[in-house]
Structure 1
Amino acid sequence: MNVTENDRYILARTLWGEARGEGLSGMIAVAWSIRNRVEDGKEKSWWGEGYAGVCQKPYQFSCWNKNDPNYPMLSGAKPIPFRELAQCRIAADQVIDGKVEDPTNGATHYYAASMPSAPKWANGAKKTLTLGNHIFFRDVP
């Protein structure tokens, strides 16, 4: 797959919106859940095409929802602090370039452990990892 500069840019911004407080290992895990969607093996994927398409698929990553408080920074209307975005870019590049293994064991989904209850999609899914404030799953029905 041909990965564009825009794919890297959007993945880094998504990591900032979804996992900036999780450290490098947490950002890498979230990036791998996105990569696992990108590489689902389907010619025309439901998830979207490429990293940008998967990240910006409506209602998949809440940070891209227009009513999310992170959206003004992700959209570029407000700046993201340079150092924070630089760390997200490092995580994005490491995952895209295959420099780090998948710590999620194939997860395509996660949710924040701080949620009051598990989302419905987690019923019947295989939990693969708990890391920081995120719980990761694969084989989501």
Structure 2
Amino acid sequence: MQTHGAPVAAAAAQFLGAAVITLPLGALLGNLSLAAISDAAPELAVLGIFSTGAAFGMQTIAQRFTSASHAAVIVSAESVFGAVGAAIFLGERLSPTGAAGAAVIFGSITLLSLTTDKISKPAVAD
């Protein structure tokens, strides 16, 4: 388990990299304009700061204190919990295809969690 590094800097670098790649693409291929950004500025700020920045930052910081396999399970389950949360708190409906996908993801995570506990690790010679 690695408990050092700069998780906030890593998260900031990922956000900056994503912005550098996606903003020009949005301007060229989408309906991105300064007027649209200005109109949606409050919503974009809340989304960027809380839903993305704070949540991703906390996740990045917390992953330093767990194993890589546990972090992979947490990240894999994120979409399932997002869909369940949207259904519970926003009243959204999951399509049959989405429900099947969530079931496959959740089943895979469960199966992986159960089988990795039974796999013995080879002895390491000193």
Greater RCO (CA < 8 Å, at least 6 residues apart): 2
Higher helix content, 1 or 2 = 2
TM > 0.5? no
TM-score by length of 2: 0.30
Higher strand content, 1 or 2 = 1
TM-score by length of 1: 0.28
Q: Which has the larger radius of gyration?
A: 2
